[in-house]
Structure 1
Amino acid sequence: MYEPTIDALRRGAAAEAVTAAREVVEAQPQDPVAQRLLSAALRMSGDRAGALAAIDRAIELLPEDAQAHMERAGLLLDERALDEAQVSLAQAVGLDPNKFPAYVMQAQLAVGRGDLDQAESLIKTAARIAPEDPQVLALEGTLALRRGNPDRALSILSQASQRHPDEAILRHALGFAYAAKGHYAFAEQAFRGLLERYPSNPLRAMVADLVRRQGRPGEAVDELLPILDQGGDSPALRRLIGEMELEAGRPDSAVVRLKSVLVEQPRDRRTVVALTEAWRRCDQADDARATLEMLLAGNPDAADLWYARLMFEPFASDNAREVVERWLAAMPDFVPALEARATIHQQVGETEQADAIARRITEINPGHAGAELRVVDNLMRSDPDAAVAQVESLLARAKDENVKRMLRQLLGRTFDAAGQYDAATATWAELHAEVVSQRLPLPPLNDGLPELPAMAPVPEQAPGVAFLWGLPGSLVERVALTLDNARLPLLADRFGSKPPRDPMQRYGTVAALTDGSLDPSFLINQWRATHATRGVSDGRIIDWLLWWDNALLLALRPHLPEARLIFALRDPRDMLVDWLAFGAPMPFAIESPEAAAEWMARTLGQIADLRDGGLFPHSLIRLDDIAHDNAAIAQSLSDVLGVSLPALPAGAQGPDRYPAGHWRHYVGALAPAFAALAPVAERLGYPAR
């Protein structure tokens, strides 16, 4: 009676199975098996509502049938009705405590919703029934991965895959485990194997993402294009392909693809950002203006479109001003638009207008950080005592601890503007002392070098190599910005989230070089070995160092003689005050001003030794009198490097700092620290007092 239906189901003949099952149900309407078979046939044919109705009828006829509840759960999972599916699974287990698939499905649901403790309990139960089942092993590995233990996950899943090489569920989990460990090539191999056996667009997209992560965006695009050809076109996919084309250096095709997406979804920020960059790389400003104007006509309140539109006008130009005025006409009192107008006023020297807008922003959005700070900056120029009162008022209202810390740092600067130098010093010192445990320790310094090796001859046609470094407060960051603006090969990744893993990044290198446990040639080889991952292809590099110690000369003199050292320098006492007031590119800990001064003095002593002894080719960029003159900084670097560098645009160097000699206001408040710095300051050519 059931054989025709079962045979059709086995062959995948959905229509034939539905016909055969309906005939059985018509002949035996009270038969629960017939209803289950009809449900399976309808599910195969795509009629999920009919399939659910048939399985519900089967359960009504035979409520104690655990398998029927399991099949109902499967249908509900197809429809993403997870809570209802969980109820059906629980009923299946209640009817048959050994219903292994129910435990597996419940565990999968628990993992999916993040209930890892329940998932672990269910996996253990399933393992008691079938400990070597691939589904159980896949769940154990996935659970380890979700709990942040990719090594254990890899161990479980790789061993299981060796025992069950043809199990797709294990290869799927293993691919994710490899990806979590950053082994993208192995993850790609795992998912490619699945893709060959079970072609699907989600698997193809996953492979493309893994290829992209390995730095092959062009190949990733090629992986995704078949999805478009197979009718899988969607704005999200076109946007993804456009982003990858941009990464692959194909901005022209990226523009075409991304523009089609933006026309359909003009408020999609991700598309706006990618397309703006593609236009910029193709130098298609006219197309950008025309497209954005067309979209703004229909979406005048789309802020991201206005941001993008501003990108294609010269900064602070009349055209930029006109765009901002139209933005404000479309979105009156919209704070970002007001900020844009205030920035233009500031850049062209219209300080009063910028301050007026800042006050307007604080009326619209009380507590707006940027506007409040601009108001305070204005008060520091016109009424420093009022600036102190304003910041104290903001502090009283602030609730977030990070905001309070920022305001206390600013309070110190208002004390400075008001001539209350003791109060400024106490405020800054207290702030730095509070966060010592959250900051990097000061880099260690050697206590005495062994005899330096001889300088090796400079290789012919060696690529240009330089190392940039400056103490906190030296304003070395302005030197770095100038080099980067000139498109020289500056690398600042040592200060980012993914620094190079070479000895020049590690604190222990100083001691290892001086005691002989680190071979100097190995250090240079390791440094060069990171070039590829840092994007250096021709050996040309200006490496901005996290720390400096003359111990590095043990490696540089014999193994990298073609390099040049570039040190940014200011009066050491000005550097200390700047460090206390404004912080540094790398957040080093300051236990006290005196401790910071002692470390600075020892470090600067090494710089003086290097200069006086001619220990290595170097240049001192003295920023005392040029720190606020972008053209002068560019000229100083041009003289050092032998190339002409453009000056940074006005305002690009960040907020103004204290002028040279400002340290003299602190001769009382920082007397012990200045006493530690005076000898090395004089040695470097600065006045003792």
Structure 2
Amino acid sequence: MLQPILEALSSADFDTAVSTAREMIERYPEMADAYHLLAVAEGSLGQFESALTHVDRAISLAPDNSAFHVTRGALLARHSSADAARGALQEAVSVDPNAFLAYVSLAHLAIARGDFSDAQQQTARAARIDPDATDVLILQGIDAQSQGNLDTASTLFSAAVNQAPQSALAQARLGLCFLAQGRHAFAEQSLRNALAIQPDNVSLRRALIRALAEQGRPTEALPELDYLVSHLPNDPGLLEMRAGLLMEMGRAADAANDFIALLELVPDQPQAIVRAVQAYCILGRQADAAALLEQRLAKQPTSDELWSLRLGIEKPDVRVAAEVTERWHAASPDSAGANEAMAQLAELRGQSAQAEAHADKALASEPQRGAAQLVKLRAELRNAPDAARARTRRLVDQATQSEARRVSLHWHGLALDRCERFSDASTCWQEMWTHNQSALPLPLSRPVNGNAPDPGATSPALFVWTLPGSPSEELIPALSHNDSHVLMPDRYSRVSRLDGLDPFRQVPQQGPALGSYAAWRAAIEVLGQDPQHIIDWLPHWDLALNEQFPGSQVIALVRDPRDLLLNWLAFGCPQTYGCNDVLVAAMWLQQVLAPLLALREQHPERVLLLRGEHVTTDRKDTLERISRFASVRFNDGALNARSITYSSGRMRSGFDPGHWQAYAQVLAEPFAQLNALAEQLGYSEAA
């Protein structure tokens, strides 16, 4: 008699199960099983109150049926109180000591509240009744995983899946265990199996997204996130997750929309503001980012975090950055952050006494303020090198973390250099590189591969390549002040275009081949820019890239290659390439510059070499040369453009020209690798 209801339930046709059960009850109003199955169907449809009423009716008709009590406990566990659910399940056990499902459910309730001791007891009771049951295997696997025995757990979950492949719980547990083991491809398959059974399970889909992301497959993770966001559009966590994934994929415009939507959901969440500002800036919409922060500052005029973000937007423009800094200090004169920013501004203006006074005020309230400490340190480097050496020695000795030690060794090396202890300085910087965990390996220069596009199908591209150790801070801000091209510095940001031109940002994607002209053009057009009117700041140039851009022009910023090497060793470079082995770095410089010089010899109209020292001392002539070379129309701001971060020696990329000669004996072997290259570039071979 109950078969039609059972068939509807087994096929997940819960509406039919409800109507069939109701018809059965009309005919047989005292049939407890009909009420029970009606409750099961209603519970599956989320009709908790009605389901609870009907299971209670079933229990009143047949109080000794333990299955009814188990169903009541399951309903309460899903929709009401865990304590009430536990009470119902314990009633089932009192009615029938062999109520297997009651013990299983009690074990799961214990796991949910973190009581693994009780879970073990309930599992043992269930195992005495049916030791080979799928539910027992799952519970034993959960217990093993809770104790860190992942191999045992995965074996138990695998056995459960083999026994009951249609069990969503078994598939899910196996997938989550694989995920914990780092077996991401296996996790993906098991989680997909579970989702095929329970497609609306949000936590499982989140886990699947993680498994795909760990395999470096963001394009496949994105549809899963789209599915979740479409069903839960007001979930801030999902929006933030999708926006972050879009950023990683180089889809900044789409990410910006999600970050802005996130900000509407959680307008006062600091991280939402930060990410919205980042998205605007990546899109080149600094004005929108500034407007957003000004709105927030009108409500929170003393928020250091908002002011810091506001200042960060304007750092490339010293004049505007100075105005923002002064407003911040006026709004919050006792703020350590505001005084630290004022110290840097005063130092930039050459107001040494005021700079130190502001730094002292910042450090008085927050002694760990790094930038304020550096203002004090730079003053000592200029005026009292021995005091700077003593200060930096203390910093090195106090540094316990690798990153702190790296920074301290950098400054200690500069202090040793100022004290003319050049051998000690070189040793110090070489030790510094052993603590640089984020340094990238040196990119290999790729030869041509015969896959050049049709020149007629490409448009001219303009690249700028600043070699490690060159003063990029002197050139890049000036390039942004023009009326004909848009400078694209995003390759040096946390998230950049994923077109394959950066050797260390390669993400598989659909569409044009990475590193090709087509991929480059597509990535620029996505950002709303015209490929013919941008200046692309490259981290690396080689013959393979040149092959893809037959009409391209390259502005290369160089110095005496021995100065490049010394500066790279002491200061690092924007590309974050490592200088762990000075001799290898010297050989690399020679290898990457040789093909560029050969191209200049063959096609002088395609390569412009700028000497760093000339860029620093004669900005006007430098801009005129660039204009003649690439038809860039600079505006009035270009002559005086400075980066507030790098100006006035506050955070330099290198020493004065020719300083390599002080290290001629200390670094004799690597310098010998560069003498011929120096001569090619027009520098004297000898010290």
TM (norm. structure 2) is: 0.71
CA contact (8 A) 2:402 2:436 kept: no
Aligned to 1:488: 486
SS in 2 for 1:98: coil
Alpha-carbon distance in 2 for matches of 1:676, 1:30: 91
Alpha-carbon distance in 2 for matches of 1:625, 1:439: 29
Deviations 1:426-465 (A, max 9, x none): 433555589799762474698xx99x99x999759x6330
Tell me if 1:116 matches 2:117: no
Q: Which residue of the other structure, out of 503, 507, 518, is the alignment partner of 1:528? A: 518
CA contact (8 A) 1:70 1:88 kept: no
Alpha-carbon distance in 2 for matches of 1:192, 1:353: 53
Alpha-carbon distance in 1 for matches of 2:290, 2:502: 42
Aligned to 2:565: 576
Aligned to 1:326: 331
Alpha-carbon distance in 2 for matches of 1:206, 1:249: 11
Deviations 1:165-186 (A, max 9, x none): 6664999576765565455665
CA contact (8 A) 2:246 2:255 kept: no
Aligned to 1:9: 39
SS in 1 for 2:463: strand
SS in 2 for 1:627: helix
CA contact (8 A) 2:218 2:245 kept: yes
Q: Which residue of the other structure, out of 467, 473, 497, is the alignment partner of 2:469? A: 473
Q: CA distance change for structure 1 residues 6 and 532 in 2, over 3 Å: closer, same or farther?
A: same
Aligned to 1:247: 256
Give the unaligned 5+ runs of structure 2.
Answer: 1-29, 505-511
- Larger RCO (alpha carbons 8 Å, 6+ apart): 2
Structure 1 window deviating more from structure 2 (522-531 vs 1-10): it is 522-531
Instruction: Provide the aligned C-alpha RMSD in A.
Output: 5.2
CA contact (8 A) 1:292 1:309 kept: no
Equivalenced residue count is 619
CA contact (8 A) 1:483 1:490 kept: no
| 1:381 Cα deviation after fit | 0.7
What is the correspondence of 1:229-628 to structure 2 with a 5 Å cutoff? 247-248=256-257, 258=263, 261-262=266-267, 265=268, 268-274=269-275, 283=288, 289=294, 291-296=296-301, 302-307=303-308, 315=320, 317=322, 320-329=325-334, 334-366=335-367, 368-429=369-430, 431=432, 440-441=441-442, 443=444, 459=456, 463-476=459-472, 478-483=474-479, 488-490=486-488, 493=491, 502=500, 505=503, 526-533=516-523, 535=526, 538-540=530-532, 542-549=535-542, 551-552=543-544, 556=547, 560-588=549-577, 590=579, 593=582, 596-601=585-590, 603-614=592-603, 617-627=606-616
CA contact (8 A) 2:491 2:539 kept: no
CA contact (8 A) 1:69 1:88 kept: no
| 1:581 Cα deviation after fit | 1.9
Alpha-carbon distance in 2 for matches of 1:323, 1:285: 14
Alpha-carbon distance in 2 for matches of 1:8, 1:292: 58
Aligned AA for 1:406? V
| 1:272 Cα deviation after fit | 3.1
Q: CA distance change for structure 1 residues 502 and 427 in 2, over 3 Å: closer, same or farther?
A: same
Alpha-carbon distance in 2 for matches of 1:457, 1:126: 58
Q: Percent identity?
A: 22
Deviations 1:504-560 (A, max 9, x none): 849xxxxxxxxxxxxxxx9998343354346577543544444445x559x64xx74
CA contact (8 A) 1:436 1:589 kept: no
Q: Which residue of the other structure, out of 191, 198, 201, is the alignment partner of 2:232? A: 201
Aligned AA for 2:375? R
| 1:308 Cα deviation after fit | 5.2
Aligned to 2:126: 93
CA contact (8 A) 1:482 1:633 kept: no
Q: Which residue of the other structure, out of 141, 149, 152, is the alignment partner of 2:186? A: 152
Aligned to 1:239: none
Aligned to 1:72: 106
Aligned AA for 1:642? S
CA contact (8 A) 2:402 2:435 kept: no
SS in 2 for 1:619: strand
Aligned AA for 2:683? Y
Q: CA distance change for structure 1 residues 670 and 165 in 2, over 3 Å: closer, same or farther?
A: closer
SS in 2 for 1:338: helix
Alpha-carbon distance in 2 for matches of 1:325, 1:405: 35
Q: CA distance change for structure 1 residues 19 and 582 in 2, over 3 Å: closer, same or farther?
A: closer
Give the unaligned 5+ runs of structure 1.
Answer: 221-242, 507-521
Aligned to 1:682: 679
| 1:377 Cα deviation after fit | 1.0
Alpha-carbon distance in 2 for matches of 1:169, 1:294: 40
Aligned AA for 1:563? S
| 1:352 Cα deviation after fit | 1.7
Aligned to 2:642: 649
CA contact (8 A) 1:30 1:61 kept: yes
Alpha-carbon distance in 1 for matches of 2:65, 2:208: 43
Q: CA distance change for structure 1 residues 83 and 273 in 2, over 3 Å: closer, same or farther?
A: same
SS in 2 for 1:464: coil
Aligned AA for 1:269? P
SS in 1 for 2:178: helix
| 1:151 Cα deviation after fit | 3.0
Aligned to 1:226: none
Aligned AA for 1:123? F
Alpha-carbon distance in 1 for matches of 2:361, 2:392: 18
Alpha-carbon distance in 1 for matches of 2:476, 2:313: 26
| 1:415 Cα deviation after fit | 2.0
Alpha-carbon distance in 1 for matches of 2:310, 2:434: 45
SS in 2 for 1:468: strand
| 1:629 Cα deviation after fit | 6.8
| 1:7 Cα deviation after fit | 4.4
Aligned AA for 1:90? T
Structure 1 window deviating more from structure 2 (582-591 vs 572-581): it is 582-591
Deviations 1:276-310 (A, max 9, x none): 577976659678546533345xxx5x543444566
TM (norm. structure 1) is: 0.71
What is the correspondence of 1:628-647 to structure 2 with a 5 Å cutoff? 634-645=623-634, 646-647=637-638
CA contact (8 A) 1:469 1:567 kept: yes
Q: CA distance change for structure 1 residues 572 and 384 in 2, over 3 Å: closer, same or farther?
A: same
Alpha-carbon distance in 1 for matches of 2:247, 2:142: 33
Q: CA distance change for structure 1 residues 525 and 185 in 2, over 3 Å: closer, same or farther?
A: closer
Alpha-carbon distance in 2 for matches of 1:85, 1:244: 51
Q: CA distance change for structure 1 residues 417 and 523 in 2, over 3 Å: closer, same or farther?
A: same
SS in 1 for 2:614: coil
Q: CA distance change for structure 1 residues 188 and 595 in 2, over 3 Å: closer, same or farther?
A: closer
